[in-house]
Amino acid sequence: MKTDPATLLQQFEPQETKSIVADPQVTEARFSPCGCYLAAGGFDAHVRIWDVSGDEPVELPPIIGHNGWVHAIVFHPTDDILYSADSWGQIRATRHDGGELQPIWDCEHAHDGWIRQIDLSPDGSRLASVGADGRVALWNTADGELIREWSGHGCDVQSVRFHPDGQRLVSGDAFGKVKVWDVTAERSDAVRDMDASTLWLLSRLQDVGGVRLLRFSPDGAWLACGGVTPKNGGTVQGKPTLLVFDFASGEVKHTLVLGEEKDCFLHDLHWHVAGFLIGVTSGTPGAGRIEFRRLEDEKPFFESTRYPNCHSVSVPSDQSLMAIVTTNRNSNGNGRKLDKDGNYAGNNSPIQLFRFGKKEA
């Protein structure tokens, strides 16, 4: 029997618990599987780590050695290993257990330039990476050896995800094409393609949008492709959009719009084991949206626009917590803006931590 939205809200309405301000900004934050640690990739090439198990977050030494932006991080599902990738093409594996960090391996030139996303196979033995160099690569997580690579996209590959069966991999590119790869076979071409090109627009000279995220439902039956339905380039606007494919047939069965044009990109998505999606959006500075909704519902059962520019959402294995990366308010403005000391200040990334469900009295 289907749970009614009010009950879902009662059960999962997020309650603020802690807040961390990451300065300078970070691209995304991810919980360790146990939910004790939170790691965030920075615009300053650092991976910042906090112990969030206590009453107050405690910042631990960062992972250094990256360059540019640390744009993707993922924790091993069972070992205390964190994998991080940067915009200059490097992937690093680092053991962390709350104590001293131990580098395990790094591949400085895993990609030629910007690594967009990485993902781990469900058993943690393989790491997939995609980049602006057009490559999809598969790595051995134990030693960082390249196992296989595919170049079929021929353009900037923006997103990657393992199927829950661990046998297949999907990748999405800047022009809205999704490719399915068989990671078990010596096959250089894609198993099949799926069309998500409504997430792309050529606006004047600029290719706008692309498949910014890919997420499978826990049972692997659905593949969600997220981004924006672009209206224009430059100052990009458009409605945050999620195309949900029936993975078996490759047909789009649901198209979800998670906001208005000012909300723009669906930046991140978590498919909760309770059967609903958590989506976060970021668009016009100050505009940010969090939505909880089920595929079959017309409306979200929870939505909030309280947090400006939401860039990532993370939920640990036990599904009890949630971390959302945002940007400080008043982050934009033309021309010279100096702080009270006459310095040119940058922006920061407040990271809001939540637990689900109302606290019982």
- 8 Å CB contact between 289 and 240: yes
Strand 302-304 and strand 288-293: the pairing is antiparallel
Tell me the window of 11-19, 66-74, 268-276, 291-299 that interacts with another protein (CB under 8 A). Answer: 66-74
Tell me the window of 54-62, 141-149, 335-343, 352-360 that interacts with another protein (CB under 8 A). Answer: 335-343
- 71 scored as a contact of another protein (CB under 8 A): yes
For the chain, what is the HEC assignment? CCCCHHHHHHHHCEEEEEEEEECCCEEEEEECCCCCEEEEEECCCCEEEEECCCCCCEEEEEECCCCCCEEEEEECCCCCEEEEEECCCCEEEEECCCCCCEEEEEECCCCCCCEEEEEECCCCCEEEEEECCCCEEEEECCCCCEEEEECCCCCCEEEEEECCCCCEEEEEECCCEEEEEECCCCCCCCCEEEECHHHEEEECCEEEECCCEEEECCCCCEEEEEEEEEEECCCCEEEEEEEEEECCCCEEEEEEECCCCCCCEEEEEEECCCCCEEEEEECCCCCEEEEEECCCCCCCCEEECCCCCCCEEECCCCCCEEEEECCCCCCCCCCCCECCCCCECCCCEEEEEEEECCCCC
Sheet holding 251-257, edge to edge: 213-216, 222-232, 237-246, 251-257
For 301, the token pair is: 């059962």
Q: Which is nearer to another protein, 284 or 319 (by Cβ)?
A: 284
Among residue numbers 139 through 158, which ones bind another protein (CB under 8 A)?
Answer: 156
- 283 scored as a contact of another protein (CB under 8 A): yes
- 304 scored as a contact of another protein (CB under 8 A): no
Closest approach of another protein to the CB of residue 114, in Å: 6
Closest approach of another protein to the CB of residue 11, in Å: 31
Nearest to 14 by CA among 302, 224, 277: 302
Closest approach of another protein to the CB of residue 230, in Å: 9
Among 32, 171, 237, 241, binds another protein (CB under 8 A): 237
Closest approach of another protein to the CB of residue 326, in Å: 8
- 288 scored as a contact of another protein (CB under 8 A): yes
Among residue numbers 93 through 112, which ones bind another protein (CB under 8 A)?
Answer: none
Closest approach of another protein to the CB of residue 69, in Å: 4
- 83 scored as a contact of another protein (CB under 8 A): no
Q: Which is nearer to another protein, 8 or 324 (by Cβ)?
A: 324
Q: Which is nearer to another protein, 203 or 304 (by Cβ)?
A: 203
Taking the chain, what is the end-to-end CA distance rounded to the nearest angstrom?
A: 28
Closest approach of another protein to the CB of residue 21, in Å: 14
Tell me the window of 63-71, 163-171, 248-256, 289-297 that interacts with another protein (CB under 8 A). Answer: 63-71
Q: Which is nearer to another protein, 35 or 227 (by Cβ)?
A: 227
Closest approach of another protein to the CB of residue 304, in Å: 16
- 207 scored as a contact of another protein (CB under 8 A): yes
Q: Which is nearer to another protein, 275 or 286 (by Cβ)?
A: 286
- 37 scored as a contact of another protein (CB under 8 A): no
Among 12, 75, 265, 271, binds another protein (CB under 8 A): 265
Per CB under 8 A, residues contacting another protein are 24-25, 43-45, 67-69, 71, 87-88, 113-114, 132, 156, 174, 203-208, 210, 232-237, 264-265, 282-286, 288, 308-309, 326-328, 331-337, 344-347
